[in-house]
Amino acid sequence: MNPTYPSIAVFGAAGHTGQFVVHEALRRGLAVVAVGRDARKLADTMPPGVACRTADLADPSSLDPAFAGCAVVINCAGPFMDTAAPVGAAALRAGCHYLDVTAEQASARSTLADLDAPARAAGRVAIPAAAFYGGLADLLATSLASPGPIDAITVAIALDRWWPTAGTRRTGERNTVPRMVVKNGRLEPLVPSADVPDWTFVAPLGRQAMVEIPFSEVITLAHHLPVQGIRSLLNRSALQDIRDAATPPPTAADASGRSAQQFELVVQVEQNGTARTSGVRGQDIYAVTAPIVIAVALRLMEPAYRHSGALALAQAVDASQVLQALHDAAALQWWGAGAA
């Protein structure tokens, strides 16, 4: 373990994404405290050397001792509309930075609104959506944008398949809040439209029929960028996968546990009469969340880190530096304007 850094706590460590986060933290030399409600499941899934602590949201007081002595709490347990508020509040009470990996708009919005004052009082940050959904688009758009008003941001995501985890299924069942977009500089409920253009990605994804379906990136982008309009598009075949109850969960295709899923996420920023585009490509949207959130956690634990409050990811860290670090570590391939 790296003695430079204190421990990080991973809440929901035994879950699909949580296990990727634990292994990535260990690979980076961090000490990990795995937190969950089922002691047996933690013992069965955690690697040697990982401290395990039990905590249950049914007893919120159990969260405080679970996070004691840690520097960062990473919440990987969805639905985040149920977990973000109590886990985030307990993390801040324990003197920890708080990160989660939500794709849920309502959860991200509540974290930014409700945890700002407690985070400032604690001298810590609370960051929702430090993940594939929410975080990556925020990093890309911020790396592209110049100071001043932005006319429009378009996020286009293509997955060759979407094999949903059990957590994704549960969240879909619970998340009935209307999805939001940005129009005329304001968050508004999405009005479905047939006027959604196809998008051409690199091979093997190629040209894809798209549907407008915004995730947490709309909330994170709108929180700190002066943008008039945000659209978030997903390829139609991926949406069909996740809506099909017969679609199986992800299965490991390599020694790291990643599925064979391939993705590309593209962001286009229209500003000052020009359009700039950048994107990332990689394998397995759940697995890639781990290097993203751990790269951010490492920056929060640097002695010189001074931000506080509830922040979008690209407010809390240098967007280009994080993207470059992920690219250099082969966690994903960063291309386009701004990419080194």
Place of tokens 């007893």: 59
Q: Are residues 143 and 174 in the same domain?
A: yes
Q: Are residues 146 and 278 in the same domain?
A: yes
Q: Are residues 269 and 166 in the same domain?
A: yes
Contact, 156 vs 266, CB < 8 A? Answer: yes
Residue 95 φ/ψ region, left for φ over 0, alpha for ψ in the -120 to 50 degree band, beta for the rest: left
Q: Are residues 198 and 106 in the same domain?
A: no
Q: Are residues 145 and 212 in the same domain?
A: yes
Residue 73 domain-assigned (yes or no): yes
Residue 111 and residue 105: Cα distance in Å, rounded?
Answer: 10
Q: Are residues 90 and 210 in the same domain?
A: no
Q: Which domain holds residue 231?
A: 135-284
Say which CATH number the domain at 81 has.
Answer: 3.40.50.720
Q: Are residues 106 and 194 in the same domain?
A: no
Residue 42 and residue 298: Cα distance in Å, rounded?
Answer: 24
Q: What local confidence, expressed as pLDDT, does residue 34 receive?
A: 98
Q: Are residues 315 and 259 in the same domain?
A: no
Contact, 229 vs 218, CB < 8 A? Answer: no
Residue 325 domain-assigned (yes or no): no
Kindly write down the DSSP assignment for every residue of 127-178, as one continuous string. ES--STTTHHHHHHHHHHPPSS-BSEEEEEEEES-----HHHHHHHHH--SP
Say which CATH number the domain at 144 has.
Answer: 3.30.360.10
Last residue of a domain, one of 284, 308, 328: 284
Residue 139 domain-assigned (yes or no): yes
Q: Are residues 276 and 294 in the same domain?
A: no
Q: Are residues 127 and 146 in the same domain?
A: no
Q: What local confidence, expressed as pLDDT, does residue 234 receive?
A: 98
Residue 20 and residue 257: Cα distance in Å, rounded?
Answer: 8
Within the chain, residue ranges assigned H as helices are 16-27, 39-45, 63-67, 80-93, 105-114, 116-122, 135-144, 166-174, 217-224, 236-243, 285-300, 313-316, 319-328
The encoded tokens of residue 317 equal 């860290």
- The stretches in the chain having pLDDT less than 50 are none
Q: What is the mean pLDDT of the chain?
A: 95
Residue 326 domain-assigned (yes or no): no
Residue 176 domain-assigned (yes or no): yes
Cα separations (Å) of 272 from 138, 150, 177, 227, 253?
A: 19, 8, 34, 12, 44
The encoded tokens of residue 191 equal 């009005």
Q: What local confidence, expressed as pLDDT, does residue 193 receive?
A: 81
Q: Are residues 167 and 256 in the same domain?
A: yes
**Residue 17: other Cβ atoms inside 10 A:** 26
Residue 332 domain-assigned (yes or no): no
Q: Phi and psi dihedrals of 177, rounded to 5?
A: -70, 135
Residue 328 domain-assigned (yes or no): no
Judge if the upstream peptide bond of residue 178 is cis by omega within 30 degrees of 0: no
Cα separations (Å) of 68 from 41, 92, 94?
A: 21, 11, 6
Q: What local confidence, expressed as pLDDT, does residue 330 receive?
A: 95
Q: Are residues 68 and 19 in the same domain?
A: yes
Structural domain count of the chain? 2
The encoded tokens of residue 332 equal 């994903």
Orientation of helix 135-144 relative to helix 285-300, angle to 10°: 60
Residue 339 domain-assigned (yes or no): no
Q: What local confidence, expressed as pLDDT, does residue 268 receive?
A: 98
